[in-house]
Chain A
């Protein structure tokens, strides 16, 4: 069965510091990979996605992620965070079999401190 593991439930970081949110997945078939962000009292918003091609993917708000097939990881990074980046971040996969089923990780709460 497929699964997504976000290794940190909470990540506190100071403003302007770099951050990495970790995501690992398990699947017997190829997958497409996504990162979503959820701000308080809002739905999810796509940050970036990997479908094919370059393994380094750039998204909105200065975030990027790198797909590592050998380590089955898709970690999210930002070189300098802002207070406004405080939110919940979700990693997700869709199987490369033409379906619609999205499997989400449990989320990582990023808390940016002044």
Chain B
């Protein structure tokens, strides 16, 4: 148990559906991250929020829309996804010192997304 929870753990959706992934951290951190983990590919950073402001947006398609309402919660809103978006989506959190992301990131268990 890392102090970072993600719901749901598994999600199957059609290409026309709209769904949201939720991440919550109980560690008092002020930076939160979304990653995409696809088979046989390196982990890809999607978004980073620091003090509730987006500080990294790694050329992610607009069908993925992040939301960070407070420092403990992070959402990833999904709409009109493609089958190639099927992957494990990982959330992480860390402290956010002035030096950037050098503090340890704590990861949730991920949401396994399948797009039909």
Contacts and interface: CB of A to CB of B under 8 A. Distances in A.
Interface of A: 4, 32, 41-46, 49, 51, 90, 92, 94, 97-107
A90 B43 CA distance: 9
A90 B55 CA distance: 24
Contacts of B109: 41-43
Interface of B: 2, 4, 31, 33, 40-45, 48, 50, 55-56, 58, 90, 92, 96, 98-102, 104-105, 107-110
Given A94-B100, A99-B100, A100-B101, A43 B42 contact: no
A91 to B, nearest CB: 10
Given A43-B92, A101-B48, 12 more contacts: A41-B109, A42-B109, A43-B2, A43-B109, A44-B43, A45-B107, A99-B56, A99-B100, A100-B31, A100-B101, A102-B105, A106-B41
